[in-house]
Chains A and B, each alone.
Chain A
Amino acid sequence: MTRWGMVINLAKCMRCHACVAACRIEHFLPLRVTWPRLIAVETDEGYKVDVSTYPVRCNQCKDAPCVDVCPTQASYKREDGIVAIDSDKCFGCRYCVIACPYQNRTYVSRKRDPGYFPGYPKTGFEKKGEKLYPHQRGTTEKCNFCMERIDAGLAKGLKPGIDRDATPACVNTCQARALTFGDLDDPNSNVSKLIREKSGFVLHPEYGTDPSVFYIDYKLGGNDNKAPVEAQTGSHIQHLSSVYEPVKEKLAKRYE
């Protein structure tokens, strides 16, 4: 059996957003829909405060809660371990969005898909995208490991993770080679070796979802008890006010 998986080397990731851009181009993503995300974490080592980056995307869990909760079976698991969504079945209840412990699903609403230039006619790129990769408003979407590329590549006899035409767009485009793709069930695959040699870890293993996205090489992933600044303070009341405002203005402004 094959189970596609990804290993993300956090030490190599340099926050260039190339993976995010590649995914956007590959899937013609609507303006405010982002399948892979780069999230920033502040770490306080006592003498310096550092901002680190975590690339996150759908974990393609082996025991995926989103598949279990889907009332129409629009979310389903393929034999190769990829969790996919049949947009023609999804009726937009957003139960999967809430049930996903990794919050990696996005509901495509009118607000999230206003067009790239709201108020102006659609560009040729947008029109082309609608034909090639239609996104249905009122349904839920997420990363699917570029399963179209994998399927097309396998049909040509290519090997995902090795041959570019059968490998997810984000992995191909990562100039720092922080992303590695391959078969988790093959003990000799590049991903299995990396996980074994560098003690790969997954996000929230205690949920028992058995994710297919592993992380290696970073202080937050090890056991040195580095925690986000807020967690280290011990006071949780202090960020009650920020619970409803998850995006800090200063981070956004930095890129303006």
Chain B
Amino acid sequence: MNIRTARQWMVTHEWMVKPMAQTEWIQGKGLLVWLAEVFSALGTGLYLVSVFFGLKEEFAVTAFWAGIFGWIMIAVFKLPLHLAYLGKPWRFYKSFPPFSSAWKTSWFARGIVFTMIFLALAVVQLILQGLIAYDAAAFNSGVMDANYVFMVLAGIFCVMTSIYCGFAMSYCKSVPFWNTGLLPIVFLLMGIADGLALIMGVGLVTGEEVIPTAESATRIMLIINALLILAYLVNANYQSTTAELSVKELIVGHLAWVFWLGIVILGIIVPFAISVGSYFTGEEATAGLLVFAIVCHTIGAFSLKYGVLKVGIYRPLLPKSQAY
């Protein structure tokens, strides 16, 4: 056995003296958290967008299938990935009522409750949406009224599911880069932009005319998101020295390629350029270009969560490191 291994507990740690990156949620098994959060953003974004498109009869089929895909991303990808990350997954039930009242204080527990309720309400809404999509008479009947009710209810819990992760992270005072109220908004709006991109893909398959509407909404959302990310970074830059270090790490440090290539170029500039191009030419982008834009957008979603989780840096422990 290596002597160092045997003695390492006797070594004085130079630990938390300087800023130290969090690894629990991004390294090794922690990558599952990253993937789960990406699917959370994509799934909730797609579902929310499907709810808005479902308000119009001509988009009923697209809204139905987009809603289904959104639901699947949450139920089949996000939740199992989160479970796989846990040290004791079979104790999962202990986080929600009546087994625990932790939801009163814990955003993680709240998130689990929101997700469960959202999934249950969305099933009912999707059944109603399916009836409307494949039976034109249902649109003007009581089914649509019931659908409205479930759209609102499921939509509310979908928003909650989308933002809880941001709140959970922003609660951590130990990581100043996350410790801001802007984070949940960034996650929500980026998720909606991702949903708009994905619904274009669904529209390509169903053949409904959702693409022009989705493209114009995407243009606005991408501008808002770019400004929001800028505001987030500027805010973090002035918040504390540790947060400033996170920003530098993201923009000019180890993760600059994730930020510039993944988030900025592929996640924002390329989809924006494609949608602006179709605006000026007055013609819809070709299917190939749209698929390319959707892929770029999705890479942007993966990059955003990866970047934010990876540059989560703890504030040093010692008093005089209050400079951080």
Contacts and interface: CB of A to CB of B under 8 A. Distances in A.
Interface of A: 15, 17, 20-21, 24, 29, 31-32, 34, 37-42, 53-54, 56, 65, 67-74, 89-95, 97-103, 107-109, 117-118, 136-140, 201, 203-204, 206-207, 220-221, 225-228, 230-231, 236-237, 239-240, 242-244, 246-248, 251-252, 255-256
B17 to A, nearest CB: 5
Most buried by A among B12, B15, B24, B85: B12
B249 A240 contact: yes
Given A93-B108, A243-B20, A32 B8 contact: yes
Contacts of A40: 12-14, 17
A71 B19 contact: no
A226 B5 CA distance: 33
Given A40-B13, A99-B172, A231-B324, 14 more contacts: A20-B9, A32-B9, A38-B12, A39-B318, A41-B318, A65-B174, A69-B106, A70-B106, A73-B101, A92-B88, A99-B173, A228-B17, A228-B316, A247-B13
A155 B102 CA distance: 31
Contacts of B25: 94, 98
Interface in B1-34: 1, 3-5, 7-22, 24-25
Interface of B: 1, 3-5, 7-22, 24-25, 85-89, 91-92, 94-95, 99-102, 105-109, 112, 168, 171-175, 241, 244-245, 248-249, 252-254, 312-324
Contact of B105 (A69, A230, A248): A69
Q: Which 7 A-B pairs have the closest CB atoms?
A: A92-B87, A138-B87, A71-B109, A91-B91, A71-B108, A71-B95, A101-B174
B248 A70 contact: no
Contact of B102 (A71, A98, A99): A71
Nearest to B105: A68
A206 B322 CA distance: 9
Nearest to A114: B5
A72 B102 contact: yes
A92 B286 CA distance: 47
A234 to B, nearest CB: 10
Contact of B4 (A56, A95, A256): A256
Contacts of A93: 85-87, 108
Contact of A91 (B13, B86, B106): B86
A243 B173 contact: no
Nearest to B314: A103
Contacts of B108: 69, 71, 93, 95
9 contacts: A53-B12, A72-B95, A72-B102, A74-B94, A103-B314, A136-B88, A236-B248, A244-B21, A246-B15
A239 B13 CA distance: 17
Contact of A118 (B1, B4, B105): B1
Given A41-B318, A226-B320, A228-B316, A91 B172 contact: no
Contacts of B249: 240, 243
Contact of B317 (A68, A107, A203): A203
Most A-side CB within 10 Å, residue of B17, B19, B108, B254? B17
A251 B89 contact: no
B24 A31 contact: no
B251 to A, nearest CB: 11
A207 B15 CA distance: 20
Contacts of B318: 39, 41, 54, 203, 220, 228
A90 B87 CA distance: 9
A97 to B, nearest CB: 5
B174 A98 contact: yes
Given A32-B8, A89-B91, A71 B319 contact: no
A91 B92 contact: yes
A251 B14 CA distance: 8
A139 B90 CA distance: 13
A64 B260 CA distance: 38
A255 B3 CA distance: 10
B315 A91 contact: no
B140 to A, nearest CB: 44
A21 B9 CA distance: 9
Nearest to A99: B172
A17 B10 contact: yes
A117 B322 CA distance: 41
A54 B14 CA distance: 10
Contacts of B315: 101, 204
A239 B241 CA distance: 13
A256 B7 contact: yes
Contacts of A101: 173-174, 315
Contacts of B10: 17, 20-21, 255
A167 to B, nearest CB: 22
B100 A248 contact: no
Nearest to B90: A91
Contacts of A69: 105-108, 168, 171
Given A72-B102, A206-B322, A225-B320, A98 B7 contact: no
